[in-house]
Amino acid sequence: MRRIIPCLILILGSCQKVVHLNLETIPPQLVIEGNITDGALPDTVKVMRSANFYAGNTFPGVSGATVTISDNTGVKEFLTEISTGIYITHTLRGTPGYTYDLSVTVNDTSYSATSTMPQPVPLDSITFTTSTRFRNGQITAIVNFQDPPGVANYYRYEEHINGGLYTKDFFFFEDRLSDGRYIQDNLRTDSISLNHGDLLQVDMFSVDNNDYTYFSELFRSTSTGAFGTNASPANPSTNISNGAYGYFSAHPVRSKSVIVP
């Protein structure tokens, strides 16, 4: 299991000095983040522009794009823009085993991606463990499920706490060393986020290799080393064509909700 953690600026020693790297400024690039699931409608595709390193995590949305998703049976849907850069489906619902094509056209330039939705894996339960060592009293959720044998499986999880998506940490897992085993995956976070009485919902996505590779490379590019230094900034691999960044993922969703004891 791996998790994506927020980038941290660490200051070592007693003297503080702001250092700006001389990074090359490049024109903004198109960023597409698209998902289609077998869960509740709507599904969302975000179309944005990249920002320079020192601009922070602000990605302006791109309005007026033509966005479609089609499947291998010939069904095609045009998505509707509900706010700047946010496009949603209306009737198209994902089906495991189907292959989906995303098409985005911006200023007469087209971008595309393809993803085949894996078969769902049931999420059995959510249990909890309480730390008695370094973070004494920290409550951590554990997802429990049976991994199907003989199949390469990739998973991604999201936590929703009291109705809100917890965005400080994202979790993902592959079964390369655990094929066919009963999985008990610890969703440990860097901060104490769960409290007694919280309503926790965990969404488990069965994703394809492209989705897993994107998030695992994103993790490696943002994780810190032994002395608080990050790896050189790098863009994760993408299945979006024509030089765009981001990802398109078709995946089933299985969810469980529980009150934190």
CA distance 28 to 16: 31
Same-domain pairing of 82 and 134: no
The answer as to whether 245 is a domain residue is no
Average pLDDT (234-243) is 91
Is the pLDDT score of 96 beyond 90? Answer: yes
For 188-228, write each residue's pLDDT tens digit.
876 667 899 999 999 999 999 999 999 988 877 765 443 33
CA distance 186 to 105: 40
pLDDT (0 to 100) of residue 138: 86
The answer as to whether 6 is a domain residue is no
| Residues forming a β-bridge with 31 | 48, 245
The answer as to whether 10 is a domain residue is no
Question: 116, 137, 158: which is the final residue of a domain?
Answer: 116
Phi, psi (rounded to 5 degrees) for 258 = -155, 150
Same-domain pairing of 143 and 54: no
Range of the domain at 86: 30-116
Q: Give percent of the chain above pLDDT 90.
A: 66
For 113-139, write each residue's pLDDT tens digit.
999 999 999 999 999 998 776 656 789
Same-domain pairing of 137 and 71: no
Is the pLDDT score of 57 beyond 80? Answer: no
pLDDT class of 182 with cuts at 50, 70, 90: very high
Cβ-count burial 32-45 (b if 16+ within 10 Å, e if not): bbbbbbbbeebbeb
Same-domain pairing of 104 and 143: no
Mean pLDDT is lowest, of 169-173, 208-212, 232-236, for 232-236
